[in-house]
Amino acid sequence: MPVVDYARYCEMLDRAKTEHYAYPAINVSQTDTANAAIEGFAAAKSDGIIQVSTGGGEHASGNLKNAVLGAISLADHIRLVAEKYDINIALHTDHCQPGKVDSFLIPLIEETERRRAAGRPNLFNSHMLDASELPLDKNMALSVPILERCAKCEIILEVEAGVVGGEEDGVNNEDAPAEKLYTTPEDMVAVYEALHPVAGARYMFAATFGNVHGVYKPGNVKLKPSILKDGQAAVVAKFGPEALFDLVFHGGSGSSLEEIRETLGYGVVKMNVDTDTQYAFSRPVADHMFRNYDEVLKVDGEVGNKKKYDPRSFLKAGRAGMAARVQHACEDLLSAGKTLGR
């Protein structure tokens, strides 16, 4: 089954960490971007992760602005389409801040609980709880009971400590203090101490090392990948090599390939890709509009050209552009050609 079960997802993450590559985690907000993500992974012969944010879920539900409904709709669509491909897809939800836990994260976990009770697969394979706005002790106090609930349903939980700068999905951290952009080794040890005791649980950790959401010119993002190396070393020194985290890289736009590749050696197995794929989708659409201006618009009383203003014509171009960028992300992260197969 191309949308993976828990065992296959764990196998994906284990292999990535052992062989030092990572999966692009592609944000989607409607069926065309979801299809583009699948098509890009298929072209790269890479397994991958497709994820929905609260804003993406709201968009997918139209004027209802119901993030849960939209997320369920997208997950079901991806499952149906991915079944026709020979790669593995994991379904994930992106940043959920504490204020949205009860309105977004918990309803989605409840939906998985209902599906499992009826003998159906999980809705999502993993969820992200982003409680990084809280002090670390309160962050973990919120994370632990959610991880316990996820473990019962074979859901992997992603957590974050430290703040990813920039702006994404309506959350603005552009003025975050510099020290908040770097997770300390002590923070990483504290996260392990809080989460490891949860029986049967698996989790991913988005540690921050100067990464920012959004897109910036080369040189404007000051990454310190050694933060990840030092944090992992601190955890291993205290608890042994089995304590190595499955790390997540947020805010990679504008990072050099050298910096991206360096993080793969420190345990990064998932890298979120959103800003770059948004542009890759929109750029061909803009090109279509400029090139076909007189046919898209009914200029000076003319009738235009239905073939050019049919949304399918420019959405197809956008989908192709985004799929190519997803394929490129797989190559950057060294997951291309490494699908586990069906």
Tens digit of pLDDT for each residue in 292-312?
Answer: 999 999 998 899 999 999 999
Residue 230: pLDDT band with limits 50, 70, 90: very high
Residue 305 falls inside a structural domain? no
The bridge status of strand 165-168 relative to strand 171-173 is antiparallel
**pLDDT above 80: residue 172:** no
**Would you state the structure tokens that stand for residue 218, as one six-digit string?**
């080369």
Residue 219: pLDDT band with limits 50, 70, 90: very low
Q: Is 94 a catalytic residue?
A: yes
Q: What is the pLDDT of residues 106-153, one digit of tens each?
A: 999 999 999 999 999 999 999 999 999 899 999 999 999 999 999 999
Residue 203 DSSP one-character state: E
CATH number of domain containing 212 = 3.20.20.70
Q: What is the mean pLDDT of the chain?
A: 92
Residue 269 falls inside a structural domain? yes
Q: Which of 47, 94, 246, 276 is catalytic?
A: 94
Which pLDDT score, from 0 to 100, does residue 313 have? Answer: 97
Question: Region 200-211: what's the mean pLDDT?
Answer: 90
Q: Which residue has the higher pLDDT, 211 or 333?
A: 333
Q: Which residue has the higher pLDDT, 164 or 243?
A: 243
Which pLDDT score, from 0 to 100, does residue 182 have? Answer: 84
Residue 316 falls inside a structural domain? no
Residue 182 falls inside a structural domain? yes
DSSP letter string over 251-318?
--TT--HHHHHHHHTTTEEEEEE-HHHHHHHHHHHHHHHHHTHHHHS-GGG----HHHHSHHHHHHHH
Distances (CA, A) of 190 to 139, 140, 150, 268: 11, 9, 20, 19
At 334 the three-state DSSP class reads coil
Residue 265 falls inside a structural domain? yes
Which pLDDT score, from 0 to 100, does residue 163 have? Answer: 58
**pLDDT above 60: residue 167:** no
Which pLDDT score, from 0 to 100, does residue 164 have? Answer: 54
What residues contact residue 115 under an 8 Å CB cut-off, 6+ apart?
121, 122, 123
Residue 293 falls inside a structural domain? no
Domain that holds residue 245: 6-287+321-332
| % of the chain surpassing 70 pLDDT | 90
Residue 138 falls inside a structural domain? yes
Query: What is d(CA 326, CA 337) in angstroms, rounded to the nearest whole number?
Result: 13
**pLDDT above 70: residue 2:** yes
State how many domains the chain has. Answer: 1
Q: How many CA atoms lie within 13 A of 132 on its CB side?
A: 27
Which pLDDT score, from 0 to 100, does residue 94 have? Answer: 97
Q: Say whether pTM exceeds 0.75.
A: yes
Which pLDDT score, from 0 to 100, does residue 6 have? Answer: 98
Q: What are phi and psi of 293, to 5 degrees?
A: -50, -50
Which pLDDT score, from 0 to 100, does residue 1 have? Answer: 60
**pLDDT above 70: residue 57:** yes
At 211 the three-state DSSP class reads coil
Which pLDDT score, from 0 to 100, does residue 166 have? Answer: 41
Residue 304 falls inside a structural domain? no
Which pLDDT score, from 0 to 100, does residue 341 have? Answer: 87
Residue 221: pLDDT band with limits 50, 70, 90: low
**pLDDT above 90: residue 71:** yes
- Beta-ladder partners of 90: 49
